[in-house]
Structure 1
Amino acid sequence: MARRPGRPRASGDPHGERDTRQDVLDAAAALFCSVGFTSTSTRAIADAAGVRQASIYHHFAGKDAILLELLLGTVQPSLELADALVAAPEPAPARLWSLVHADVALLAGGPVNLGVLYVLPEVAAEQFAPFHVLRARLRARYSELADAAAARSEADDRGALVLGLVESVILRRRDTPDLDVPVVQRSVADAVLRLIGCTPTQIAAASTPS
């Protein structure tokens, strides 16, 4: 699985060489989340990354491509896990709980709150369509798992409800930067199962390591 932008990483490869691409992603993430996408120039990214501006264009077509990769990194790992969990043999509540638990860690962990990039007006543009496609696929997987785990049969959009609850951690992190991530992971995963009507016994079983 590709390394997610913003995650802690080793400094360089075994030969001591810099990972310029990742340095650019890390610098851009910090700038986009602090001063905004429009206000951030490629020169500012290069300066923050400690590279020449020309080096950015060796790895990325431009600023939009950097933002797209950052956005994809907030969804792709969870989607890959969701694809695996849909076919896993464990009970549906446990599979859904595991996905939420991991997805919350992805959104709440790392040094930069990349989820705030979702609300940038620029993200609605056509060049960011791959991000929206992946996010829609993740929502569909949430619906599939939630429908399998649900104790009620109402035909609501469970995927949207569950994903909305999961992504609420983005605003919580913005307002409370020192979130206790493991506590939030468990509370949100439990809340999702309560939302779809699982019993306390089912929730306890889902959250217990097998």
Structure 2
Amino acid sequence: MVKGAGVGRPRASGAAANRPDARQAVLDAAGELFTGAGYAATTTRAIAERAGLRQASLYYHFPAKEDILAALLAGTVRPSLVLAARLVAGEAAVAVRLWALAYADIGLLGGARHNLGALYLLPEVGSPNLARFRAERAELKAAYGDLLEAAGVVPVAVRTDLVFGLVESIAVIRRDDPELDVEAHTREGADGVVRLAGLPEPTEELRAEAHALLATSTD
């Protein structure tokens, strides 16, 4: 439950505003408030107070509220995008690479401290200032399409839509079920992605290979 906007750590400014964790404190506070109180209802003043900073100090890191949203959204896609590039170029069996990407991607969205994937439906996501996020998200979706194409899946576009929708559905499920078993959902979700691709039923051997691949891909 989100506490009142005026409740937070003691305010800080000056040197405290420049401390290494100040930027992250803003993101943590904003993530909690955006997913709890709502983006439109959250002010930069409320974020600053929750982060333990003066509002002017917040602007040192983020000139506008939309910049905070952009940073939060970037964190939901960039790690998966980096991994996807490695997996698409990899040599392991396509089913293994696809399972690994889906598992990591669902885990990123489902295991984050705040349910930031739920912010994807905000009308503000269509803002010109969030064009980079939209482009990176589209690039990640295209990576799924590349893997499906490599697997000989047809029609690729339709299956890619279905696969990507399944991956991101964890945000809605997590919203409706805060006690969600994320690990179980992540594993079953990755299995579902392989099934949607029309590939053979995932086995324990495939999952083990995928986990080993992820271990080497994130070193």
Task: Provide the TM-score with structure 2 as the length reference.
Answer: 0.83
Find the counterpart in structure 1 of residue 117 from structure 2: 115
5+ residue gaps, structure 2, are 1-18, 213-219
Find the counterpart in structure 1 of residue 145 from structure 2: 143
1:154 CA drift (Å): 3.1
Q: Of Structure 1 and Structure 2, which has the larger fraction of its residues in helix?
A: 2
Matched, 1:161 2:162: yes
Q: 1: distance between equivalents of 2:156 and 2:49?
A: 52
8 Å contact from structure 2 (residues 159, 196) kept in 1: no
Find the counterpart in structure 1 of residue 11 from structure 2: none
Q: Which amino acid aligns with 1:207?
A: R
Change (3 A) 1:77 1:164: same
Find the counterpart in structure 2 of residue 208 from structure 1: 208
Find the counterpart in structure 2 of residue 64 from structure 1: 66
Runs of 4+ in 1 over 6 A off after TM superposition: none
Q: 1: distance between equivalents of 2:34 and 2:190?
A: 29
1:88 CA drift (Å): 1.1
Task: Provide the TM-score with structure 1 as the length reference.
Answer: 0.87
Give the secondary structure class of the aligned counterpart of 2:141: helix
Change (3 A) 1:153 1:123: closer
Give the secondary structure class of the aligned counterpart of 1:177: coil
8 Å contact from structure 2 (residues 29, 50) kept in 1: yes
1:83 CA drift (Å): 0.4
1:203 CA drift (Å): 4.5
Between the aligned residues of both structures, percent identity stands at 48
The CA RMSD measured in Å over matched residues stands at: 1.5
5+ residue gaps, structure 1, are 1-16
Aligned length: 192
Q: What whole-Å deviation, never above 9, does each CA across 1:61-111 have from its counterpart, x for those lacking one?
A: 110100000011100000000001011111111001000000011000122
8 Å contact from structure 2 (residues 145, 157) kept in 1: no
Change (3 A) 1:138 1:37: same
Q: 1: distance between equivalents of 2:156 and 2:69?
A: 35
